[in-house]
Every structure is written in C-alpha cells, then in structure tokens.
Amino acid sequence: MRVTPLRDFFLIPENYQMCKSVLVHRFGELTRKIWHPRNFKGQVSPHEFLQAVMVASKKRFRIGVQSDPVEFMSWFLNTLHADLGGTKKPNSSVIYKCFQGELEVTKEFQSKNLLDRKEDVDKPPGEEDKISDSLEREISKMPFLMLGLDLPPPPLFKDVMEKNIIPQVPLFNILKKFDGESVTEVVRPQLARMRYRVTRLPQYMILHMRRFTKNNFFIEKNPTLVNFPVKNLELKDYIPLPAPKRNEKLRSKYDLIANIVHDGKPGEGSYRVFVQRKSEEIWYEMQDLHVAETLPQMVALSEAYMQIYEQQGGSQ
C-alpha cells in the first residue's frame, strides 16, 4: 500500500475490470477502502482479501495461522503478476514495473565430460591437473523480484560475561554478494561457484535476510543484526552498476519504506512491521491491531527479515 505506483493502479478499478481473478479484485477493494477520503473509521478489515488469499493459495496461507512473510510476498507478487496477464517480459504488469530487476549470473562448474575422462583415461603425469582445472562457465541473465542476502554465521563462543555476543554486520557487506566478483558456493543441483551482478535496478527493491536455515531436525535462526541506513542507501558505492542510457540519470539511491522484523525463536516467535507514512515522514510500528509511532533509529535496531526500499525520484 506504500508502493505508490502499485497503489495508484489498484485505486482505479478500470485498470483491472477485465481481470477474472478474485484475488486481484479483493486486493483492489482493500486498497480503495484504505485510501478512501471519506472513510470515517480509523481501521479497515482485510477479511475478504484474506479469504481470497486462502482460496487462491489452496490453503497454503490461512487466516489465523502465522506464515513466513517472505514466502507470502513471493507467492503474492507472482500470483498478482500472472492474474493481471503478466508475461516474462519486463514491465508486462504493474508488479514487474515496480519490483523487477535483473541479475547477470556467472556459473562455474566442472563439466561432466571432463569428470568422465578423468576416470577413464590413464593420463601422463601433470595432465590430471590441467583437466581438473578446466571449468565450464555459463553466463545468463535472470530477472528478480527479491534479492536474498546471506548473513555471516554467528560466533560460537560466549564472551566473558557468559552472554551470547550478538554480532552485527553492515548491509553493505552482505550486498557484496551482488558485486559480480564475490563467489557464492552452491551444492544443488550440482557443485558450482556463482557470481551475481545487478544489471538493472528495480524502482522498488525488496531485500530478504536469510535468517532461517532448515536441517533434518529443526530450524535454526541467525540472530545477526544488520546495520542499514533508513535514508539514502547509495548502491553505486558498493556494487558496480550498469551505465544509464543516454539522457537518463543513474538512479541508485534508495530510501527504506518498510521493514519486517522477526522476534523470538525460529519456527514460532512473531513478526512486526515498520512502515513509513511519507507525507509526514513518520515511522509506525505495527503488529496485528497494535499501531504505534516510533523513531527512525528504532527501525534500524531490529532483526530485519525483509525490507522494501524506494528509488529516490522514482515514483513520480
């Protein structure tokens, strides 16, 4: 609702009157209720919208059952995009116009043929190394609606006072994953080294801190605090960005507009969201029916799980 072009699109029913999706229409109704100039009540019930979510997601997201906001957001944006007739092309729906960016992905892996040859052939001394060093490289372009950031592992040791040290990391350190040089090792579907570089920035950038890891027995949570600026996040200082087209300015500065936080233990705990009311530049903290004004400094002191940044000068 704070993503201006998305809100503006849904405020005008003519934009999607031909659409058959109940989810789209219920979301549109909710948007219009929230922004109705003559709404005399201070709150709006999202019940009809939630029912539409339950049906459209085949009960994956249910009323009264807490779900993971990253999973929900990913499902919701992709479903809205498809229901509005969006295709794989950029700007083919209001969702892609707002949130879609693009990555260049470089994947290095050992080719299957080389591995077979290594086993089959008795090679003269010195030859084995040449073959084992031959890596195949694939470069592809990949659109994204959300960027997943990896947190450094928390320290295993406690300090002198026997308390767990809660580590902190600057957002810029974990954004380096997308500088085109940092290597991310992946195991599935095959062992490979990945490099990611942002080739197109979205107007609204969704970041997701990977706090939870699932193993066979339980879910673990990484408590590392991420230090981030609430205003003026300048990406070009930390990751190389493509040169803008002629007569265009490079828009690489972002302001935070929403921050979702997870408190408590993995698998349970609760979520809070910080949202900014742009007209007054005031931040609010919300959890279910509880809404309270808060300071921008408090927004940055939390275990951020998902964030939405708005490109400066991008929503006019």
One-character DSSP codes across 151-211: PPPPPSSB-TTSPBP--EEEHHHHHGGGBSSS-EEE-SSS-EEEEEEEEE--SEEEEEEE-
Cα separation of 174 and 49, whole Å?
Answer: 35
Of 75, 70, 80, the residue nearest 57 (C-alpha): 75
Residue with tokens 């040290």: 165
**Average pLDDT score over residue span 205-220:** 89
State which amino acid sits at residue 70: V
Average pLDDT, the chain: 87
By the 8 A CB rule, do 285 and 294 touch?
Answer: yes
At 188, the pLDDT band (50, 70, 90 cuts) reads confident
pLDDT in tens, 56-81: 999 999 998 999 999 999 999 999 99
Give the pLDDT of residue 135: 80
Q: What is the pLDDT of residue 122?
A: 56
- Using DSSP, state whether 37 is helix, strand or coil: coil
pLDDT tens sequence across 239-280: 888 777 777 788 899 999 999 999 988 878 899 999 998 888
Q: Determine the average pLDDT of the residues in 18-35.
A: 94
pLDDT classification of 17: cutoffs 50, 70, 90? very high
The confidence band for 54, taking pLDDT boundaries of 50, 70 and 90, is very high
Model pLDDT, residue 216: 78
Averaged over 220-245, what is the pLDDT? 88
Q: CA-to-CA distance for 194 and 192, rounded, in angstroms?
A: 6
Closest to 2 (Cα-Cα) out of 280, 294, 289: 280
In the prediction, which pLDDT does 316 show?
43
State yes or no: pLDDT of 121 exceeds 60. Answer: no
Yes or no: say if 266 and 219 are a contact pair by the CB < 8 Å rule. yes
- 290 touches 315 (CB < 8 A): no
CB 45 within 8 A of CB 63: no
What average pLDDT does range 118-130 have in this prediction?
53
CB of 155 closer than 8 Å to CB of 169: no
What pTM was estimated for this model as a whole?
0.87
Average pLDDT of the residues in 134-148: 91
Grade residue 131 by pLDDT with cuts at 50, 70 and 90.
Answer: very low
Average pLDDT for 144-151:
94
SS3 31: helix
pLDDT of residue 162: 57
Strand, helix or coil at 291?
Answer: strand
* CB distance 175 to 238 below 8 Å: yes
